[in-house]
Structure 1
Amino acid sequence: MDNIKYGIISTASIVPRFINAVKQVGKGEIIAIASRNINRAKEKAKEFKIPKYYGSYKELYEDKEVNVVYIATINGNHYNDALEALKHNKNVICEKPFTLKKEEAEHLFDFAKEKGLFIMEAQKSVFLPITNRVKKIIEDGVIGEVKLVNFTSSYLPEPDNWVNSKEAGGGALFANASYFLELSKYIFEQEILQVNAMSLIGPKGADSQYAISLKLNNDIMINSTTSYHVLTTNKALIYGELGYIEIPNYWKARNAVIVFHDGNKKELNFPCQYELKYEIEHIEECLKNNLIESPIMNRDMTVSTIGLMESISKEWN
């Protein structure tokens, strides 16, 4: 694909970051944005100098100039919105979590393949320079053999926020767990042998706090906690025999530090204005080469993650 022309579904809070990152990369062009509220679409179009805006998603799907649709709707709508885009012959970038059910994720990948269209879950964390530097440091044995990893994150939503609603696809699990799950799979390239998970369930049925433990097949243990009740340190700690790596805000990290047991430290810094730029560079390279699947955020990565989150969710409910 030579001319990448994006249409954006939704005016959610992540959308401005996507728009600015596309502009920073400078290869694709955002030509349309849609909202169920035409005034919001008009407002965003004016703010970001987007030529066209629509008061329904259907109108954007039917725009013949748009060849890539970016879906940033609430979690519970991802499957249907992505499916409609594919039915209108659009390549699809869908925010995480890709879907809420494994069979839905499988169907989207199958349908995209049948139509020869590119589809990918937008998972910025695996494309960050910090992530790839840390992966290489671990592979090179700089901190020795890794045995333990801790992830913590938090968010304090307003009571009426859709993330509190199970029906809308909310909850800490579907909102946050894909970050640590897909980072772990990408960095360690190991199978998950065992899963233990606990949660607190809020008044609208969605989990408001979770603790998940994984055991990988080379005896690495990974613990992750996310809370909607209290603010945590929001970091990843990767412990090896010779020291540890600390990654603040691991899902959007610009820096990290290696702390060795002998007292030495090494800082890693990759400053950037818009962290989504790296996944967009990858997406546009895939589109340029006419791929229908990312070699990194591929079918297996996404489907297995959705399957694991779905099984955890079912156990809690």
Structure 2
Amino acid sequence: MSMFNKKKVGILGTGDIARMMAKTLEGMRGVQCYAVASRTKEKAENFAKEFKIRNFYGSYEELCRDPKIDLIYVATPHSAHYDNVKLALESGKNVLCEKAFMLNEAQAKEMFDLADEKGLLLTEAMWTRFLPLAGKLKEILASNIIGEISMVMADLSFNMVWKQRIQDASLGGGALLDIGVYGLTFASMVLGEDITDIRSQAVLNEQGMDIQDIVTLKYRSGQMAVVTCSASAYGPCKGIIYGANGHIEVQDINNYSSITVYNNAGEKIGFYKREKQITGYEYEVQSAFHALEEGWKECPEMPHALSLKIMNIMDFVRNQTGVQFPQERIMDENTDN
């Protein structure tokens, strides 16, 4: 690619995850971070200076109006995704939106419908589905090396209970949408979506947000999964797959660092390590631009149906654990009238 037709990405938001994306784009070929927007010009300018980004805007509207941008990456808290994605789509922009995609399935469905209506690409940036090692895991499972699979355990836990985005109900807080989504995604990648029963428990903070969750899933096939997440402790962050002839361990289910295969005697019979990467975010960006080049409106690694399914499961879990966001109470009141 010549320097003239580099794909241009605009980052909406300037938090930690926006920084990760800016760093990613710096290291990528054929793609550039063309602009960044914050709700204050000063924040946007500081961010732009740090990452040598040419354009910065003090409002999300200005970013979405920039005619040169090919793709907008939404990096705001979950609670803002609905408004931000809506703005971008209504401005005619393709969107890669950070996970958890929305607060609930209803919001997600509305945004996918809007994207379809506008003929635009909208993808959830569930980056683990795009990783090369995720493809490797699918191959290993298809080879049937550990035989028929009966169970999956998946954990992602970090002590980050002090973070506002976890504590605060108005930000779409809690552990489930922030880190539990990875365990649910891991289970879905291995066992699929044909779930017949879900049981969940959670410990809630004073604001009614879940600080830790345990979710058990039962599948029509007789397979089961246990997904755990804690925002008040460090866990093993592993995915474990139980087979008739052995088991597989995936380290770091939020960015696979290795896959180890064990036989039924517990001996290592296979080991796959993460290849060198910029941050791991590059794969979802590549996929989004590949989809745009092919004229697709969704990425095959993370189709709309899968985003909706995971949101649907999280709605179900929150219904059991009693976690509700203030935005949803407003929705309930509107539908009651």
Query: TM-score per shorter chain, which class?
Result: over 0.9
**C-alpha distance in 2, partners of 1:26/1:216?**
42
> Among residues 47, 51, 71, which one is paired with 2:50 in the alignment?
47
Equivalent residue for 1:271? Answer: 275
> Among residues 266, 269, 287, which one is paired with 2:292 in the alignment?
287
Q: Which has the higher contact order (CA 8 A, sep 6+)?
A: 1
Q: What are the within-5 Å matches in structure 2 for residues 47-66 of structure 1?
A: 47-66=50-69
Contact in 2 for aligned 1:18/1:276 (Cα 8 Å): yes
**C-alpha distance in 1, partners of 2:223/2:26?**
40
Q: What are the within-5 Å matches in structure 2 for residues 159-308 of structure 1?
A: 159=162, 161-262=164-265, 263-273=267-277, 274-308=279-313
**C-alpha distance in 2, partners of 1:54/1:112?**
24
Q: What are the within-5 Å matches in structure 2 for residues 27-106 of structure 1?
A: 27-106=30-109
Contact in 2 for aligned 1:9/1:71 (Cα 8 Å): yes
Contact in 2 for aligned 1:6/1:29 (Cα 8 Å): yes
Deviation of 1:147 (Å)? 0.8
**C-alpha distance in 2, partners of 1:90/1:43?**
25
CA offsets 1:157-216 (integer angstroms, 9 cap, x no match): 253522211221011111122222223323333411111110000112210000001112
Name which of structure 1's ranges 180-189 and 278-287 shifts more when overlaid on structure 2.
180-189
1:66 partner amino acid: I
So what's the TM-score if we normalise by structure 1? 0.95
Percent identical among aligned pairs is: 28
CA offsets 1:247-273 (integer angstroms, 9 cap, x no match): 111120121211212324321112223
1:97 partner amino acid: A
Contact in 2 for aligned 1:146/1:220 (Cα 8 Å): yes
Contact in 2 for aligned 1:248/1:255 (Cα 8 Å): yes
Contact in 1 for aligned 2:260/2:268 (Cα 8 Å): no
Contact in 1 for aligned 2:156/2:183 (Cα 8 Å): no
Deviation of 1:58 (Å)? 1.4
Helix, strand or coil at the partner of 1:167: helix
Q: What are the within-5 Å matches in structure 2 for residues 140-155 of structure 1?
A: 140-155=143-158
CA separation of 1:151 and 1:160: change in aligned 2, threshold 3 A: closer
Name which of structure 1's ranges 52-61 and 37-46 shifts more when overlaid on structure 2.
37-46
Contact in 2 for aligned 1:25/1:281 (Cα 8 Å): no
Deviation of 1:38 (Å)? 2.3
Equivalent residue for 2:160? Answer: 157
Please list every run of 5 or more consecutive structure 1 residues that lacks an aligned counterpart in the other structure: none
Contact in 2 for aligned 1:182/1:301 (Cα 8 Å): no
Please list every run of 5 or more consecutive structure 2 residues that lacks an aligned counterpart in the other structure: 323-337
